[in-house]
Amino acid sequence: MDTTIERSDTQQTQAAPATGRPRVVIIGGGFGGLNAARKFRHAPVDVTVIDRSNHFLFQPLLYQVATAELSPADISAPIRGVLRGQRNTRTVLANVTDVDVERREVIATDLGDGDEHRIPYDYLIIATGAHESYFGHNEWAERAPGLKSISDATAIRREILLAFETAELESDRERIEELMTFVIVGGGPTGVEMAGAIADLARKGIRRDFRAIDTAKARVLLVEAGPRLLPMFPKGLSKKAWGALRRLGVEVWLNAAVKQVDADGVVVGDKHIRAQTVIWAAGVQASPAAQWLGVAPAKAGRVTVGPDLTVEGHPEIYVLGDTASALDRDGQPLPGVASVAIQQGHYAARAILERARKHDPAAPLAPFRYFDRGYLATVGRTYAIGEIGPLQLSGFPAWAVWAGVHIAYLIGFRNRVLVLMQWLWKYLTFQRSARLITRDPRETRAGFLPTSYHRQ
């Protein structure tokens, strides 16, 4: 029995043993992909999960890693560990570079030796998420990082904490003001939550730890190009979020588009704001899945899918989450939130199993229906806003719901307990337990090591 798959034109690599069962390949170990994979736990299929990271990341709490509230391990879990109990599932750490839709093979590059592998499928699920969009100004990325990965979060945490440390040693007043100015671009949930968390950190979390500077005087500026914050919420709740940010000392600029990001800060309208730290939360761009599939991309590079989440002409290919351009029953685009990806992952798994049972990859299916559980966003330590059906919440009750939902969505009992304990500790003491300034690897390679590490 042949158990190899093509590695390149001349090389072979060992594959999972052939069983004669349908082969399901899932690209992406996020909310959509991982939830789809877990649905196949006892199913008569062979599953391969491919991701270029070895861990699942709970992105909604990533901003808390960036602001020293949580550690990376609190909101992540190894994909292999999550799926270890599924004997029909294997995990592959690789970077997908293309999909051969004619031969039904995923082309991926090994992260270890860089070799190319071809992984065959009968059904394919693409749930590769999205990355930052700088609206044609990719050169801004170096000075205004986004927040999509643990590496992003720890780098931003380093910049925030190092800004205060540098200001402590600075004597020039203008330079201190620049170091203690933080600009967040984008008034969506990530931007609002980041702005509130930084303000909370500066005014409560670290104020008593410094002697030469008053961290409470830090300037936190949230810049939004549109007319209001959090446009997915009702206007009344958006206004309450704006008020909560103002009470935290955050400056909110609306109808204010960023025209330039440079080494000294940002240009908003005709004003140049000198700032040491700029964080981008203004837009997203889907992964290159449309290019892999050879289809015309929709808005933000997403892949247009039908009511059953498949690509036109390819009923065996499902696209989920931020990678997909899908419509709800009213013809409106589905939002790019975790609950959409989770529900789509469950639907795709059920659809594949039904079609596999009928031995017909194009068998008619009931369309995907999204159950809207509402929206939640937190502002600062214990304030949030929420819309759940006809119910609108704000303040501590909304924060309690927000906390409960996020704890429930975390993967693993350990992570739930750790996050809950960290939040309780922060509530009682205002302290942040994850205030680590990690060294930039580029500095280490350049020889900027602590004195004790240099040879005498």
Tell me the residue ranges of DSSP E strands in 349-452: 375-378, 384-388, 391-395
Cα–Cα distance for residue pair 405/403, rounded to 1 Å: 6
Backbone angles phi, psi at 398, to 5 degrees: -65, -40
Its sign, for the CA torsion 205, 208, 209, 212, is positive
Check if the beta carbon of residue 263 is closer than 8 Å to that of residue 178.
no
Sheet holding 391-395, edge to edge: 375-378, 384-388, 391-395
- Nearest partner of 187 among 137, 254, 135, judged by Cα: 254
Check if the beta carbon of residue 279 is closer than 8 Å to that of residue 144.
yes
Quick count: other Cβ atoms within 10 Å of Cβ 233? 23
Cα–Cα distance for residue pair 90/124, rounded to 1 Å: 15
Backbone angles phi, psi at 282, to 5 degrees: -105, -15
Residues whose CB is less than 8 angstroms from the CB of residue 137 and which lie 6 or more positions away in sequence, other chains included: 261
Residues whose CB is less than 8 angstroms from the CB of residue 35 and which lie 6 or more positions away in sequence, other chains included: 341, 342, 345, 346, 349
The one catalytic residue in 193, 224, 316, 387 is 193
193 catalytic, yes or no? yes
Cα–Cα distance for residue pair 339/409, rounded to 1 Å: 9
Alpha helices, H only, 170-228: 173-179, 189-200
Instruction: Report the amino acid identity of residue 324.
Output: A
Cα–Cα distance for residue pair 246/188, rounded to 1 Å: 16
Report DSSP letters for 425-437, one per residue. HHHHH---TT---
Residues with a known catalytic role: 193
